[in-house]
């Protein structure tokens, strides 16, 4: 599942390519999207803005029409020049939004709907989102309160809960817990204030570091990159994807276990995260 920083970067790329430009073509395999397009055409409207809200991507068009998409597990947005061949097959195409200069294509997105800008604040899913870790006005006090309101939930699961904080996915979950030395299976009630503070601050730091220019996607560990300049996933992260490999701090073999209702994989060091 894409993490908050992936959506944030996608939104920023789309914003740069499309914002202020009139839509020249709109296409979708979703009947509920094309129905609105037939009644109130998207073609001819200006792309006002593209923004991330947690893991939701909100594309606003002139006239107050907003396209909400969510990438879920396999969705992605690509940007192409007109005529450029796509990296995915046409059967994976869900939405196409074209301007004179760019073609934005959503592949394998399962969640897409039109919203009205004036009622956005009342949208059930958006309304429930916790403080957005990538937002300039992120509120750590609110995030702390929401986290502590779930005393029985295990630390790893509470980090994934978008109603607590918006933006953390499965990779950062393991990385943040390791960085703070927190065992993933500790219930929230067993966390010290210092640990809670560390989890929130570290999540924000990792996500923000990964939306700066020039950094490979999802980097929390840069030790190897500094020396080898290699960029394989296993060389960019502390624990995620490294089960059985030695911990970068203490050399203990890292562990892996499914966790929570959705059996999401958790990686951790049994020595550093007791």
What does the binding site for Zn ion look like in residue numbers (CB under 5 A)?
247, 249-250, 252, 269, 271-272
Q: Is 2 designated active site?
A: yes
Phi and psi at residue 155, to the nearest 5°: -50, -45
Nearest approach in angstroms of CB 181 to Zn ion is: 9
Phi and psi at residue 73, to the nearest 5°: -80, -40
Nearest approach in angstroms of CB 269 to Zn ion is: 3
**d(Cα 84, Cα 131) in Å, to the nearest integer?**
38
Nearest approach in angstroms of CB 252 to Zn ion is: 5
Q: Where does residue 241 fall: left (phi above 0), alpha (psi -120 to 50 degrees), or beta otherwise?
A: left
**d(Cα 272, Cα 54) in Å, to the nearest integer?**
30
Which residues contact residue 262 at a Cβ distance below 8 angstroms, ignoring those fewer than 6 apart? none
> What is the SS3 assignment for 220?
coil
Q: Is 124 designated active site?
A: no
Instruction: Report the residue number whose CB is nearest to Zn ion.
Output: 247
Sign, Cα dihedral of 127, 130, 136, 139:
positive
Q: Tell me which of 9, 55, 94, 236 is the catalytic residue.
A: 55
Q: Identify the CA nearest to 200 among candidates 265, 247, 263, 141.
A: 141
Residue closer to Zn ion (CB basis): 127 or 249: 249
Residue closer to Zn ion (CB basis): 32 or 249: 249
Residue closer to Zn ion (CB basis): 93 or 247: 247
Decide if 155 contacts 184 (C-beta within 8 A): yes
Nearest approach in angstroms of CB 257 to Zn ion is: 16
Residue closer to Zn ion (CB basis): 104 or 269: 269
Q: Tell me which of 140, 154, 264, 270 is the catalytic residue.
A: 264
Q: Is 3 designated active site?
A: yes
**Which residues participate in catalysis according to the annotation?**
2-3, 55, 264
């Amino acid at each position: 599942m894409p993490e908050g920083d992936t959506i944030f970067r996608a939104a920023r790329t789309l914003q740069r390519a499309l914002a202020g430009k009139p839509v020249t073509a709109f296409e979708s395999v979703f009947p509920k999207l094309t129905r609105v397009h037939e009644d109130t055409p998207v073609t001819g409207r200006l792309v006002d803005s593209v923004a991330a809200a947690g893991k939701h991507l909100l594309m606003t068009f002139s006239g107050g029409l907003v396209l909400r998409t969510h990438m879920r597990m396999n969705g992605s947005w690509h940007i192409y020049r007109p005529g450029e061949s796509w990296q995915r097959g046409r059967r994976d195409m869900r939405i196409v939004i074209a301007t004179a200069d760019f073609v934005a294509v959503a592949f394998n997105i399962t969640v897409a709907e039109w919203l009205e800008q004036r009622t956005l604040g009342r949208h059930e899913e958006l309304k429930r989102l916790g403080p957005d870790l990538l937002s300039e006005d992120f509120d750590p006090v609110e995030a702390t309160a929401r986290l502590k309101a779930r005393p029985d939930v295990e630390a790893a699961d509470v980090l994934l809960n978008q109603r607590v904080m918006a933006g953390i996915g499965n990779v950062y979950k393991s990385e943040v817990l390791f960085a703070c030395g927190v065992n993933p299976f500790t219930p929230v009630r067993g966390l010290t204030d210092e640990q809670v503070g560390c989890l929130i601050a570290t999540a924000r730091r990792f996500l923000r570091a990964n939306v700066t220019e020039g950094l490979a996607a999802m980097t929390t560990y840069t030790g190897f990159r500094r020396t080898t300049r290699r960029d394989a996933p296993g060389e960019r992260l502390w624990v995620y994807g490294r089960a059985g490999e030695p911990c970068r701090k203490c050399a203990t073999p890292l562990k892996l276990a499914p966790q929570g209702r959705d059996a999401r994989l958790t990686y951790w060091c049994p020595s550093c995260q007791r």
